[in-house]
Amino acid sequence: MNKDIWQGRPAHAVWLCTVCEASVVSPWLAEADHVHNRLLGAANRANEFSTGRALLRRASALYGVPVSATVSPGAHGKPAFPEYPDVHFNLSHALNRVVLTISSEQAVGVDIEHLDRQLRSRALAKRNCHPNELLALEDLDDEAHRLAFLEMWVRKEAVLKARGDGVHGGPSNVDSTAGPGRARYGTYADWHLHEWTNDGYLIVIASGSPASFEFHDASGLW
């Protein structure tokens, strides 16, 4: 366990954690989290939720947010601290990993996927890609197409989650080929992309303005 990750108050940070049993992280959960957990039923969903929420509770304490703070969804479901509007956060899950990002300066969105994930990329691209992305994909063989589309999808998700739209914002409105480290929503709104690969996972954070994120591997934390 790296105790240094719980020191200081970085303006922008990201924590990656392995999903664990809900009972292990129970001490870090608020009563409302326990109530929500009981409603989930399936153990794997409860473990994912509990790990992500405990990671959020522990990390947000660095920013003065108490464990009992209310977490409420916005208009399109993006969670937030209504009593602490300057503490922006976002969570994502994939397989047995949870990733959290927090910023004290701006809205952020994060997505994670394992790069080996198999999907019908050509059919998905037709429905979800921007015209510029379709051009970038059109001459690729099946495996290269799958991987390129998957990377595009993670970038799109990060942008839509930063905006607070989720899929309601329309994935095809996001052009992830706008330039190195950039994505564009619509015709004018540029987003900055920050990417990491870790143990076969791709992690992307989107922010509205340039930022430097501290990356912390919190695996084995609990």
3-state secondary structure of 23: helix
Residue 3 binned pLDDT confidence (cut-offs 50, 70, 90) = very low
Q: What is the pTM of this model?
A: 0.94
Nearest one of 201, 205, 204, 19 to 114, comparing CA atoms? 201
Tokens of 70: 């209310």
Residue 6 binned pLDDT confidence (cut-offs 50, 70, 90) = low
pLDDT at 169: 78
Tokens of 132: 């510029």
Give every CB contact of residue 79 below 8 A, 6+ residues apart in sequence. Answer: 71, 72, 73, 89, 90, 91
Residue 188 binned pLDDT confidence (cut-offs 50, 70, 90) = low
Residue 186 reports pLDDT greater than 90: no
How confident is the model over 1-20, as a mean pLDDT?
80
Of 7 and 161, which is predicted with more confidence?
Answer: 161
Residue 1 reports pLDDT greater than 50: no
Residue 137 binned pLDDT confidence (cut-offs 50, 70, 90) = very high
Across the chain, what does the average pLDDT equal? Answer: 93
Q: Spell out the domains of the chain, with CATH numbers in brackets.
A: 3-111+211-217 (3.90.470.20), 112-195 (no CATH)
- Which of 147-161, 165-179, 206-220 is least confident? 165-179
Please give the C-alpha separations between residue 112 and each of 3, 28, 157, in angstroms, as whole numbers.
Answer: 24, 23, 9
Residue 77 binned pLDDT confidence (cut-offs 50, 70, 90) = confident
Residue 115 reports pLDDT greater than 80: yes
pLDDT at 74: 83
pLDDT at 166: 72
* Cα angle 87, 197, 170; round to 5: 60
How confident is the model over 40-59, as a mean pLDDT?
93
Residue 5 binned pLDDT confidence (cut-offs 50, 70, 90) = low
Nearest one of 9, 54, 8, 10 to 29, comparing CA atoms? 54
